Amino acid sequence: MPASMPEHDIAAVASRLGFAAAGFAAAGDAIGSDAFAQWLARGDAAGMDYLHRHAPLRRHPAAIVPDVHSIIAVAARYPVNPSPAAGGFCMTARCRDYHDVLRDKLRLLSNFIKQRTAARTTRICVDSAPLPEREWALRAGLGWQGRQGQLVSPGAGTCTVLGFLLTDLVLSPAKPMENRCGDCRRCIESCPSGAIRPNAQIDARRCLSDLTIEHPGEIAPERQSAMGQALFGCDICTSICPWNQTATAPVMPELAESTGPLPDAAGITAMPPDTFAARFRGTAVKRTGLDHLQRNAAIALSNAAP
């Protein structure tokens, strides 16, 4: 029989590790598989071909961990961007790479569980595994899906990143939260590129985060003006959410620690490779590469020209 453990103990340790919220879901078929397939078929995934390749694996977490019984979901809060419309770098680019931060924290949580139970499996997933993360965060009771497609947590707002442990523990699943967005449409109305569809799905071909981070090669001229001064990522639809104003959960300290002053568009265009490697080592920006960043900087300078 799989091991078991009181859920409140796990949640308490997650809180001590700096997570804003933790919840539990019973492993099963992904409810959103058909909607995801339709999203892919429309071409909304843009150039993220790996989403097509990994789609079959996303249908059940057992494709990742065969003996999975429960999913532990955690959310880490990061600071709200005080001036998101100004573009530049999104907040998760200004600190140590959140993938590394969350994996380190989840490793500690995994060790805690394994030291106190007979658990055999606690697989860490942060963004790169073929797991429909938002769905499992919703099913674990961390919040609801906002109109911008992302998780909205009553305690942490919308500025969060997610992590998961897939485990053979049998844990009591949480009750999903009801949507509390009401009639608010601020996220939709604030998007400069019209990337947010009415069904709370994102057209990645228009999204500034995809264009500045994932999109390979040149960016179509008709997309460039909407980019404004964006260099890496976009915080507009998350920063504008009124739930950030009432959130009381603490920001994870590691996600609030700046890695230092960031270069502007002009500085990036003149930046040599060794300077880029040194300045952005250990951050999320490193993965996009200097060529992409300089492409974005050239667009930002063009948009700023009189």
For the record, the structure tokens of 147 come out as 């109109």
Instruction: Say which of 127, 210, 235, 274 is annotated catalytic.
Output: 127
Beta-strand runs (E) in 18-167: 21-26, 70-77, 88-89, 122-125, 144-145, 151-152, 160-167
SS (H, E, C) 84-119: HHHCEECHHHCCCCHHHHHHHHHHHHHHHHHHHCCC
CA distance 257 to 101: 12
CA 2 to chain centroid: 30
| Residue 127 is a catalytic residue | yes
Scanning the structure block, which residue is given the tokens 């339709």? 38
CA distance 235 to 160: 11
Q: Three-state SS for 45?
A: coil
CB 142 within 8 A of CB 23: yes
Active site residues: 127
